[in-house]
């Protein structure tokens, strides 16, 4: 099956058809899986070496931008815009925290203010699709920026303020990290 997929990859460019004769198609789900399998096998010895020598090893899927590592959220095309519906019978504080938690996640992951803005729009859409009232959404989004002293991002997508916010939130421990820290401090 793998050989069939790799040997029969065709595409069109400028109204002409071509067959790719080497490698796999960029963006193909199969090529990504195949690359991950290859990398998994290839990196096992490297990981052992790094562990022995107290090194750090990591990998990422895309290229750097202008020599800088750029991070952003990724969604599969099949991802449904689902979060806890506003009409569910949960306490209101749960609904209030949904936009805040989503924005917190986005601000920690997105290294660029434009990607963060795109994510804010996506969060807004997810909330609307799940019956959150528009005024409620706006209020909770403003709450996030006010509590994090980052209102210039709302009004003008201020890159410097966003960078400070991003770094500040990255350095804060997550709830899980706080719990783990408490467990190590008091094993009982």
- Please give the mean pLDDT across all residues of the chain: 86
Inform me whether the pLDDT recorded for 169 exceeds 80. Answer: yes
- Please state the rounded mean pLDDT for residues 25-38: 79
pTM above 0.75, yes or no: no
> Does pLDDT of 6 surpass 70?
yes
Mean pLDDT of the region 16-24: 84
Strand stretches in the chain, DSSP E:
10-13, 16-19
pLDDT at 66 over 80: no
The Cα 140–Cα 166 span in angstroms is: 19
pLDDT, residue 60, reads 64
| Domain extent listing, the chain | 2-52, 92-185
7 pLDDT above the threshold of 90: no
The whole-number pLDDT of residue 145 equals 95
Residue range 48-57: average pLDDT? 82
Residue pair 86/132 in contact by the 8 Å Cβ criterion: yes
Sign, CA torsion 99/150/153/143: positive
With bands split at pLDDT 50, 70 and 90, how would you rate the model's confidence at 34?
confident
DSSP 59: -
pLDDT of residue 70: 83
Mean pLDDT, residues 139-164: 93
Specify the pLDDT at position 65.
66
Asked whether the predicted pLDDT for residue 12 surpasses 60, the reply is yes
88, burial (CB in 10 Å: exposed 0-12, middle 13-18, buried 19+) = exposed
């Amino acid at each position: 099956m793998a050989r069939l997929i790799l040997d029969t990859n065709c595409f069109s460019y400028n109204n002409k058809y071509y067959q790719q004769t080497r490698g796999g198609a960029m963006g193909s789900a199969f090529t990504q899986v195949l690359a991950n399998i290859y990398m998994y096998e290839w990196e096992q010895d490297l990981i052992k070496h790094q562990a022995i020598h107290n090194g750090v090893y990591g990998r990422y899927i895309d290229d750097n931008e202008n020599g800088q590592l750029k991070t952003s959220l990724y969604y599969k095309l099949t991802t449904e815009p689902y979060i806890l519906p506003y009409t569910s019978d949960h306490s209101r504080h749960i609904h209030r925290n949904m936009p805040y938690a989503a924005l917190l996640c986005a601000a920690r992951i997105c290294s660029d203010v434009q990607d963060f803005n795109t994510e804010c729009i996506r969060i807004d859409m997810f909330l609307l699709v799940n019956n959150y009232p528009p005024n409620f959404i706006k209020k909770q989004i403003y709450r996030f920026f006010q509590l994090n002293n980052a209102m210039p991002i709302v009004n003008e997508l201020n890159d410097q303020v966003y960078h400070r916010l991003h770094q500040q939130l990255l350095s804060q421990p997550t709830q899980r990290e706080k719990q783990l820290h408490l467990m190590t401090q008091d094993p009982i």
